[in-house]
Structure 1
Amino acid sequence: MSTSPSACVLVVDDEPDLRTLYELTLLREGHEVISAPDLAQAREWLVQRRFDVLITDMRLPDGLGLELLRELAAQQRSEKSIVITAYGSAENAVEALKSGAFDYLTKPVDLKQLRAAVNAAIQGQRHPPAATLPRAPLNDAVGRSAPPPPGGVKALERIVGTSPSMVQIRGRIEKVATSMAPVLILGESGTGKELVARAVHECSHRASGPFVAVNCGAIPDNLIEAEFFGARKGAYTGATQDREGYFQAAKGGTLFLDEIGDLPLGMQAKLLRVIQERRVRPLGGVQEDSVDVRLVSATHRDLAALVKSGEFRQDLFYRLNVIGLRTPALRERREDLPELVQALLQRICNESGHATPALSDDALAWLRSCELAGNVRELENLLQRAMALSSGTTLQTQDFADPGGGGSERRETPTPLALAAQQVSVDHAGSGIPADLQVFLDEQERQVLLKALKESDFNRTAAAARLGLNLRQMRYRIQRLGITMPSDDDDNT
């Protein structure tokens, strides 16, 4: 018996045996169930009363189940809708989610998934987004009805800024969080795509579940299937015990697939199958495991262009891009810079236990003059370095200056790699043993990578070859070490 509060469910299906099966399953969960064989009778019930959840087949004798969803949306009804689609019908599933469905199931319906979907819909129906949540200290944060989930409000508070683009993205997160529809986040490197993904998770009914973040571009090709789907003991050399994959680890929560554009084509086909069937088979396994995750993906690449060039599957693109979000570049919201600087300084100091410094007007003007091609990530690197070099309680322009600049009048933003190299000389000058070995080694690796990238005109493929790495390994190191590239628009730059 389910521990979720009982609810009233309307089941619409023209097959009597299936209606009975769904009714019995939900009655055992303690829910009240009313059924209808077609749109006409379903509409009669909807006129008479309200329901918590509507379950409808896609095709009915007198029309499409999607008609009910659109009518509910037009009437601003609160019912959460679950649509049952034909097996493998990607177009129907995407259309259902875009029409406002909370979730979808494919035939033949797995009863365990049916129960899970209904319980999730009930939670979403009883915790709708609040339109009047009080303004948070750092932004116009919005979340669910009071009391809002603490994690959700905290995540939204970190999405700083009052520019139109930031107000819009927070509003979109508010709406997205109440659905199971896949979300695709597009934006340049350093714009906070993972932060948005976490906000979607923490504002949803899955907030108490795990948030599993995966960098699709950093997993070696020979391990990627086992990493995603898990593996059974003996499936490959070194597999001495069963291990779960990302889908199993994210059960009941959200799976965030970062840099989805770097996923190999072969793996794209397998991922599409999992999304459609909601089942995974571990490497070396015989039986499949059911999947209960909400998918959020992100990339800095142009997926539409990759689809045209044949590097990304069109059917997978449509399945992932049901709801689209875009994180704006920092140059598009310069008015947010003062508020963003203050928020970053507060966070950096909270983590380090230091008092938050002020920022002089001249220093702020200097930051405004910087290109900041690396967006928020580069801004944070600049602030961290300035705090390390500052000797007062207020950050001044000279704290950001490049000591090796030679008095040049050009105001250029130093790359994070160059800043790190300068910091090594400051921290370890005259000392034979570094205070923190890992930090020291990371800084040395940054310098080597920077030298190889500069000598290769920032061509990642050429730089990787010089260092004896493949492109995937090079990308992983660039991301891990926080290196900002002049351009991330091309795979070979």
Structure 2
Amino acid sequence: MASTTATPAHVLVVDDEPDLRTLYELTLLREGYRVDAAGTLEEAWQLLGQAKFDAVITDMRLPDGLGLELLQRMSAQQRSERCVVMTAYGSAENAVEALKAGAFDYLTKPVDLKQFRSVVASAILETAAGDKPRPSTGPLRTATASAERGTGSGALQRLVGESAPMRNVKERVAKVSRSMAPVLVRGESGTGKELVARAIHACSHRADGPFVAVNCSAIPETLLEAEFFGARKGSYTGAAADREGYFQAARKGTLFLDEIGDLPLAMQSKLLRAIQERQVRSLGSTQEEEVDVRIVSATHRDLAGDVQAGRFRQDLFYRLNVIDIVVPPLRERREDLPMLCEALLARIAQEAGVAAPVLSPAVLSQLQAHPLTGNVRELENLLHRALALSDGTELQVDFAPSAATALSGEPAAAAEPAAPATAALLPSDLQAHLDQQEREILVKALRETNFNRTAAAQRLGLSLRQIRYRIARLAIATPGSEEADEQPASP
């Protein structure tokens, strides 16, 4: 129900169908809101010029234009009202277009009135929490409503680095945190995708709610439904009591689905329905229950390639990938290494209860030259080991022998006599060895063709589908969009 204070929330409804407009008005009036209504864009804009509202609900198709035009004009004037878009043309493309244009949320006609009331209430709360004009560009929202609670700015500070790629990530986080739009965080393993997800949560109006992180690849397939949606007592062997699922645990907060690309197709279908309907049914129950969660997902896989290969549902991909954030690998932001090392060493030393040692320029130079293919996670492991083995105030990083040899520039044969050739040619793990060889060949071909997969596939005698499959299987990160694949290969 609406607040019982002296000034009830003021809502503007824009719809050209009189019957539906009346239905929405009556529904909101019963909730205690003040309601104004308009049947066209022009009428709506006149009302917006006369008063400030707490929420705007607009149809997508109107006689004199699109509801998105109203949304864009509100954004251009930096108005604070949150806008909910309704459409009878409930395709994923329309939803994506509305949310990317700045809509707080969208509803598909015929509208479920219970869901309608819930979304409007959330939009009103969001307007009240961030009752300021919304910035149109730049990192101006590193603090607004959530940072004022003391959580948002701290979360962004944990995203260490001032390189151009990291500034882009921080700006993106600050922009998307205010909406309910699903976010897909992409990046190689070890780049800090969960940190980005936590920053989105901490900067949002849901910061006071729970943040529930789920590793989708770590749950046995037979337990997925119970883990996600909960289970009733006796619904399966060993279910001795009712239990909540991840969706219920994340109510009023954020549900972070890590490694979303590893979900089996059957579970993808159930997840899609839960996200679209905002309702889940616990295993063994006959009733559905509402769940109010924001979905942030992450993957190191090429989900677009998985969609084309039939390994990931296209409709779920569109629903999750409304807004995407790409976390850069460490090799693309090496200028951040000094700041990263300082921050990581301070935290590691604090956990160990010792003073943080000094990182000498020589060691920092070694780290700059190190491949760091494991990204920030590998860097943290190196510093953990270095601190554990350190016997003074100056840190010495203990690289693996092969890495130390590569850094020194000396051939391996100079260090010790060569082993018999047969011993060197017999890997202990044949499959891993073959995968590594294949990965190196693919990466080399991709780099030489400026990551044009069509050209790389032709050079290797593969089809585009085959090279996409191999890139996904070996988790090779490729910059750029899918459109690059369609560019003709250079002769």
2:171 and 2:161 mapped to 1: Cα distance? 13
Partner of 1:230 in structure 2? 230
Q: 1:458 to 1:297 in 2, by over 3 A?
A: farther
AA in 1 matched with 2:310: G
TM-score, normalised relative to structure 2: 0.78
2:428 and 2:122 mapped to 1: Cα distance? 48
Query: After the TM superposition, which of the residue ranges 342-351 and 298-307 deviates more from structure 2?
Result: 342-351
Partner of 2:9 in structure 1? 7
Identity of aligned residues (%): 62
1:69-468 to 2 correspondence within 5 Å? 69-86=71-88, 89-128=91-130, 142-145=142-145, 148-396=148-396, 399-402=397-400, 405=401, 409-411=405-407, 454-457=429-432
**Residues 460-483 of structure 1: CA deviation (Å, up to 9, x unaligned):** 9xxxxxxxxxxxxxxxxxxxxxxx
Q: Is the 8 A contact 2:180 2:294 kept in 1?
A: yes
Partner of 2:33 in structure 1? 31
Question: How far has the Cα of 1:113 moved from its partner?
Answer: 3.0
Q: 1:408 to 1:114 in 2, by over 3 A?
A: closer
Count residues in correspondence.
418
2:474 and 2:166 mapped to 1: Cα distance? 31
Q: 1:169 to 1:401 in 2, by over 3 A?
A: closer
Q: Is the 8 A contact 1:130 1:146 kept in 2?
A: no
Question: How far has the Cα of 1:51 moved from its partner?
Answer: 1.8
- Given the alignment, which residue of 42, 58, 61 partners 1:59? 61
Query: After the TM superposition, which of the residue ranges 39-48 and 110-119 deviates more from structure 2?
Result: 110-119
SS state of the match for residue 331, structure 1?
helix
Question: How far has the Cα of 1:88 moved from its partner?
Answer: 5.4
1:85 and 1:352 mapped to 2: Cα distance? 56
AA in 2 matched with 1:491: R
**Residues 321-363 of structure 1: CA deviation (Å, up to 9, x unaligned):** 1111000000000000000100111122233332222111111
Question: How far has the Cα of 1:125 moved from its partner?
Answer: 2.5
Q: 1:126 to 1:141 in 2, by over 3 A?
A: closer
**Residues 144-179 of structure 1: CA deviation (Å, up to 9, x unaligned):** 258623222221110011101111111111110010
Partner of 2:42 in structure 1? 40
Q: 1:489 to 1:342 in 2, by over 3 A?
A: farther
Q: 1:401 to 1:21 in 2, by over 3 A?
A: same
Gaps of 5+ in 1: 133-138, 413-451, 461-487
Q: Is the 8 A contact 2:146 2:204 kept in 1?
A: no
1:223 and 1:271 mapped to 2: Cα distance? 14
SS state of the match for residue 81, structure 1?
strand
Partner of 2:467 in structure 1? none
Q: Is the 8 A contact 2:147 2:153 kept in 1?
A: no
Q: 1:340 to 1:406 in 2, by over 3 A?
A: closer
Partner of 1:442 in structure 2? none
Question: How far has the Cα of 1:453 moved from its partner?
Answer: 7.8
1:85 and 1:295 mapped to 2: Cα distance? 21
1:453 and 1:16 mapped to 2: Cα distance? 74
2:246 and 2:290 mapped to 1: Cα distance? 13
Partner of 1:491 in structure 2? 473
Q: Is the 8 A contact 1:141 1:156 kept in 2?
A: no
Question: How far has the Cα of 1:85 moved from its partner?
Answer: 2.8
SS state of the match for residue 395, structure 1?
coil
2:14 and 2:154 mapped to 1: Cα distance? 39
SS state of the match for residue 33, structure 1?
strand
Q: Is the 8 A contact 2:14 2:40 kept in 1?
A: yes
Please tell me the root mean square deviation across aligned C-alpha atoms, in Å.
Answer: 2.9
SS state of the match for residue 457, structure 1?
helix
1:209 and 1:112 mapped to 2: Cα distance? 22
Q: Is the 8 A contact 1:155 1:199 kept in 2?
A: yes
Question: How far has the Cα of 1:406 moved from its partner?
Answer: 9.2
2:403 and 2:165 mapped to 1: Cα distance? 37
SS state of the match for residue 301, structure 1?
coil
Question: How far has the Cα of 1:204 moved from its partner?
Answer: 0.2
SS state of the match for residue 432, structure 2?
coil
**Residues 227-252 of structure 1: CA deviation (Å, up to 9, x unaligned):** 11112222222222222211111111
AA in 2 matched with 1:198: R
**Residues 105-160 of structure 1: CA deviation (Å, up to 9, x unaligned):** 2334344433332333233324448999xxxxxx9992225862322222111001
Query: After the TM superposition, which of the residue ranges 143-152 and 172-181 deviates more from structure 2?
Result: 143-152
Q: 1:243 to 1:23 in 2, by over 3 A?
A: same
SS state of the match for residue 261, structure 2?
helix
Question: How far has the Cα of 1:381 moved from its partner?
Answer: 0.5
Partner of 2:424 in structure 1? none
Q: Is the 8 A contact 1:459 1:492 kept in 2?
A: no
AA in 2 matched with 1:103: D
Partner of 1:441 in structure 2? none
Question: How far has the Cα of 1:266 moved from its partner?
Answer: 1.3
AA in 2 matched with 1:456: Q
**Residues 276-311 of structure 1: CA deviation (Å, up to 9, x unaligned):** 222212222211111211111110011111111111
AA in 1 matched with 2:95: A
Q: Is the 8 A contact 1:103 1:181 kept in 2?
A: yes
SS state of the match for residue 76, structure 1?
coil
1:326 and 1:109 mapped to 2: Cα distance? 34
